[in-house]
Structures are given as structure tokens and as C-alpha cells.
Amino acid sequence: MGEYLSLLNKIKESVYAKDCATAVADMKKLLNNLNIDYTSVKNAADREKARGVIIKLLPVLNDLKRNEVTQTVINGLKLDPQRLATPSLDDLFGENRLDSSVFGMAPSAPVSQNPANVSPQPVQSEPQPTALEQPTPQPAQPTPQPTPQPTKPLKHGARRTLAPLMLDDYIGQEKAKAGLRISIKAAKKENRPLAHTLICSSYGLGKTTLANIIANEMDMPFFSVNATNLKDVKSLSLYFSKIQDSCIVFIDEIHSLKNDVQTVLLSILTDYAVSFINEAGEEITYELPPFTLIGATTQAGELLKPFLNRFTVLELLDYTDEEKAVIVRSKFKKMGYEITDEAVADVARRSRGIPRTIETYAKGIKDIALNDDVEKITEETTKKYFDMYDIDALGLGANDLRILKILADSPKPIALVTMESKTGIQKEDLAYRYEPYLIKLGFMDKTDRGRVITEKGRKYVDPSYVPVQTEEPATETAPEAQEQANEQAQPQVPASESEQAQPQAPAQPVQAPQTPTPAQQSVANNGLEENNQNGEG
């Protein structure tokens, strides 16, 4: 199956590089190989693997239809655009077999392409009523397209064309990838499922993409569901009762599961069996094949501790500037465009470090390049796209700036519920999509009383803002501190022996002035008279 995926990547690169001849040849080779594999195998598990490979081909076919340059590929393969527009899994695998009509090949395709000599099943159409049977003529009814049941898990087929399919294509997260490679290799050697895995990271770092890659590396079918759809124990039991073969089950936002649902799911992971009560009040138990559960969460702490301990935890880290630049270049390379270093830095800087956002930007910038007939993406092209959608130099959009302005205008902290009512943005999006990046930039803080804007955030919202310098109120120790500072500022003069002894002077008793004796008074008067005579002379 690995060679099929590499061939798929080669076909996509040929398509985006406008190499139609190579794309036609590789696509025909892939179709022929899939036809041989699927019709020749008898084992249900192997047939399921071939089925998964075919499903991976559908996004490629859909992308061929949308690209005018690859019309040559469509014509060379004789693909039916209507089939490409609405592929149906039930239409592909209605009878557990594959024929050339599945891919919209012309009816004149040689039967020799099917080595098992299985004749294609004709498409059943509704018989047209005659005039005697039906007085009013009815228009011909098209063949109805069956739709999957809502409780039936869907396989991973509708992939994004720019998303990586294998670990070698996944950029960054080297520690997580190294551990996965060892675990996957060991599981394959022992022919057992991979250990249940919990992928933890902040918003948009590639948890779902990594789960799809694990399914591809393990060559196993992939079932995906959001935890919000598993509202209670009954819906959880019904969902897992649909599992028939070894597979990988992916639950996104797994922390949203209620505690009782987590407890039941823990027993399912332990016993590989699911039980529930039917409408007749009977308990029905289904034994499940060994499978791997992969959960994705931004709040691992919300999970019950016994349930959390059941997983091998993978933590995805923020991408470095170098890794973001590599991701940007790879996206544009897959679309067949060159990009300058300045444009790479511009896209990476505004992406918030989220690969999903980089992919969205890349597709929009490509559309502008196509409209302007530009063959090489420059910073002028990227700036035109970002100006069109009001995305500033740090990647902040209208909602981010609105949040900051509300905080700046508020005289007190704002609670999350209040912010939800003021902005109209759901509190989950506020808490996990907008606030983490604003906090990372240092524009806002979360306190016990609510959200507050920082001085840096005020300056960003209003460049003319000048912080008000307010004098701090005097405290009781302020005079003492000022006196101590004055003493430290004065130069230190060495004290003399008399000065060193001076502190002991206050300890001596102070004597009252004594009345002079008559002899002392006579001496003093004589001295005064002498002074007066000297002054007169």
C-alpha cells in the first residue's frame, strides 16, 4: 500500500507541474493495479485495505476536474466529470467488487483489464412506463445515489490535496514522529494494532492530519467522529457496534465526552466488547475486533485520570520559524509555484504557526496568482491577498482586533461569558482559538477576575496611546526610606576619638547650672572693669 501512496503523490505533483503525459501514465498504472488487487483477493481484510487505497484516489480525481490545465489528463483517462463531481462509496463498493465503470471509464474499456474476468454489473435503471400503464408521461428517473446512514462511520477519503499522507511528508514534530515510527514498526512485526494514542496540542497544529497518517502507515481503515456526536452511552455503544474489522477509530475533541461516556469507553478499550440495552429491554453484547483508538484534545486535563492513563500521549509542540518556512514552501511546491524568500517569511509570520492556516493562505494566494497570470509568488502577491481579507502583519484579523478594542474600552476585567455576548463569538472559540494567540503575543492576560488588556496590547490597538505616569501614594515607611537614602548618599567621614565617644555622652546625667560664689563674682566684675578701661583708651 505504501507504493500506492507514493504513486498518488507523484500523480499530484505531475498534475500541479502541468506534466499531463506523466500524470496520465501513472494514473492508468494505478487504476490497473487497484483493479488487479481488488478483484483477485478473497480475504476480507485485504479487500478492505484495497478499498481504503481506492478511497484515497478520489480527492485526486476531484482535483483533476477542478484544474483546467489537467483537462488532458481527464480526456486521456476518459473520466466522467459527473462521476468525479459526486463520488459515492456505496456506488463504488455496492457488491464488494470493483469494475472499470467505478472510475467513469468508457464502456468500451477492454475486459482484459480485469484479470479475474468478472463482468461489470450493469447499472440498474427504472423501467419507463408505457402509455397504457401511465396516461401522463413521466420523465426518466436517474439512478438514485444511496447515502450513508448517519450512524455509519465514514472512511478517510475526502482528504485535502495539500495534506501530507505519510510520516516522511509530515514537517516538524520530530520527537513525536520518532516515537511513532518505533511503535508502528513494532506493531507491524507482531501483527497487532497500535497502542491507543492521545494527541495533545493547542489549536490547529495538525492532530487530525497526524491521525490520518497513522492510519496510512498502519495500512488500516480509518473511522472518524467528533466527540460532540457521542452525547451519551447509547450513541457511543451504537457507534462502536458498527466496527467489523480491525481499524483505527479517531475521536476529535475527546475531552468533550461526558464522564459516564468516558467510563464506558474505557471498558470498551479494555474488553474489546460493547453492550447496550435494545428496545425490548434485552442486553446485547458485541465482541469487537482489536482496534486502535486515537483521541485528539486541547484539554487533556479534562479527561478522567483512569481514562487518560489508558493512552500513549503524544504532545505536539509549536512550530519553529524554520519549520513554518518549510511548510509554506512545500504547499506552494505541490501547487506548482515558486515563491520568494520574502513571500515565504510574510506567509509564515501571519500564519500564527498553524499549518492549516498556511494551507488556507496558500490556496487563496494561488488564486490571486492565477488571476494576475503570475508564475512566481512574490511579497506583492501575498500582501494583496492579506489586504483583501484584512489580515495584519501579525496575522490578526477583524475578530482579534475587536476583542482587543473591547478590552481596551472596558474599565474593569471582562468575563468570558460577557465577551461572548459582546462579540457574538462562541466562548469555546474565544478560549481556544483567539485568546491563546493574543496571550502569546502579550496583548492580553487572563486573571481571576476576567480578561484584561496589557499596555502592549493598548499600544498595538492605538499607536498614539501614551501610558499615564501616576505618582504612587506615600506609605508609612516612605520617610524612613528617604532618610536612609540620604544617609547612603552622604560621604562617610572617619569619626575622631571624641566623636566616637560622643554617643556615650547622653548617658551621663545633666547637671543644673550652679550659682556663682561671692569670690567668683568679684573676679568676674574686676575683669569686666578692665575690659571697659581698655576700650575707652
CB neighbours of residue 483 within 10 Å: 10
Active site annotation includes 207: yes
Whole-number Å distance between alpha carbons of 251 and 98: 30
Q: Is 298 a catalytic residue?
A: yes
Q: Which residue is catalytic, options 97, 356, 405, 427?
A: 356
For residue 525, what are the CA distances in angstroms to 381, 517, 536?
111, 12, 17
Helix/strand/coil percent split, the chain, to 5 = 55, 10, 40
Helices within 219-340 (DSSP H only):
233-240, 259-271, 305-308, 321-334
Are the CB atoms for 457 and 417 separated by under 8 Å?
Answer: no
8 Å CB contact between 432 and 298: yes
Question: What's the CA angle centered on 240, arms 265 and 219, to 5 degrees?
Answer: 105
Residue 478 has a CB neighbour count (10 Å cut-off) of 11
Catalytic residue (one of 39, 70, 197, 208): 208
Q: Judge whether 365 and 382 are in contact, CB under 8 Å.
A: yes
Phi, psi angles (nearest 5°) of residue 156: -80, 100
Tell me if residue 252 is catalytic.
yes
DSSP string over 458-512: HHHH-TT------PPPP-TTHHHHHHHHHHHHSPP----HHHHHGGGGGGSPPPP
Answer yes or no: are the C-beta atoms of 441 and 349 closer than 8 Å.
Answer: no
C-alpha 8/C-alpha 54 separation (Å) is 10
C-alpha 275/C-alpha 241 separation (Å) is 9
39, 197, 297, 298: the active-site residue: 298
Rounded to whole angstroms, how far apart are CA atoms 416 and 373?
46
* CA contacts within 13 A on the Cβ side of 232: 2
Q: Which amino acid is at 211?
A: A
| Distance, CA of 395 to CA of 519 (rounded, Å) | 103
First to last CA, the chain: 135
Q: Is 51 a catalytic residue?
A: no
In the chain, count H helices and then E strands.
23, 11
C-alpha span between 255 and 246 (Å, rounded):
24
Is the separation of the CB atoms in 347 and 382 below 8 Å? yes
Can you read off the three cell numbers belonging to residue 11? 500523480
CA distance 109 to 31: 12
Catalytic choice (56, 207, 324, 451): 207
In degrees, rounded to 5, the angle at the alpha carbon of residue 356 between the alpha carbons of residues 351 and 357 is 30
Catalytic residues: 207-208, 252, 298, 356
